Chains A and B, each alone.
Chain A
Amino acid sequence: MDDTSETGNNGIVLKCEGLTKLYTSGLIRTKTVTGAKDVSFGIKRGEIVSLAGESGSGKSTVARMILRLIKPTSGSITLNGRSIYSYDIREYYRQVQAVFQDPYSAFNPFYTVDHVMERAFGLREGSIDPDEKDKIIQSTLESIGLNPSEVLGRYPHELSGGQMQRMLIGRSLLIGSQLLIADEPTSMIDASTRAGVLNLLLSLKKDKGLSVLFITHDIGQAQYVSERVLVMKQGEVVEQGPVDEVFIRPKHPYTKELLAAVPTLYERWDTCR
């Protein structure tokens, strides 16, 4: 792709500056709710950045703005040095894709899961014959450790949450996107399959140079998967930096609180507060 040469191998893929989203409701007496306030950060090629924070802290708002699903009130987002709104919508989604929190809501129960994979071809240029499509889908699924015969042709309710999340990651691979917004991809799936999804992200980062914005409320996962972390509270980024620095020597009281709230093994719960 042309864009990769512009930014170089270690360039910044995505950059957010002063990103703010205010929700206003009511016509005469307006009420304003802050979704995100002055959020600035960048993601490099082949880097996994975690966005941590409690529910309602604005993590998903940031994700949705990056995905062009909602418009920011102010601030700018640039992809490979260009404003994301300067891209044609299809061209943009060829580069930025997402995995959402609830796999059961991400697949339309009306169709078999193939529907989601086939739709992804709509973003590609030119037409591909059906046989070729099937081959690409199968090899992609195999490359992420899914058995195509086990998942294809099934309805969403017949698959496990982990399988579905992997398929969605496979979908963005199929499109060949360079940035993946993973909005709490593991919070609604079994603990036993979580590691599989996390390891898949790590291996894609290593092999394909995939950049990931990993949104989570689980500090442990953030530490496992990412190099850098941003901690959000009430729409603001209160602390950011390398994972080890933030989590071992937290500066902001909220980060300390978050860390203290992580339950640990071999410790009495009432004493760990």
Chain B
Amino acid sequence: MSRPLTYLDPGSGSYLLQLLIAGALGALFALRIYWSRIKRTMLRLFGRAKDERDE
């Protein structure tokens, strides 16, 4: 992997840390998105069920 040519020194430790944590943070992010979708769907289903009961 080559480094892009930029004026800023990204810092070796900072670079390495990102390589190590990005996978986990990405997985967590994906989980959060799926979880919020599931939650939304559940709310919609239960919300609808509740509406039907009310009628």
A associates with B: no
* Interface residues, chain A, with chain B CB atoms under 8 Å away: none
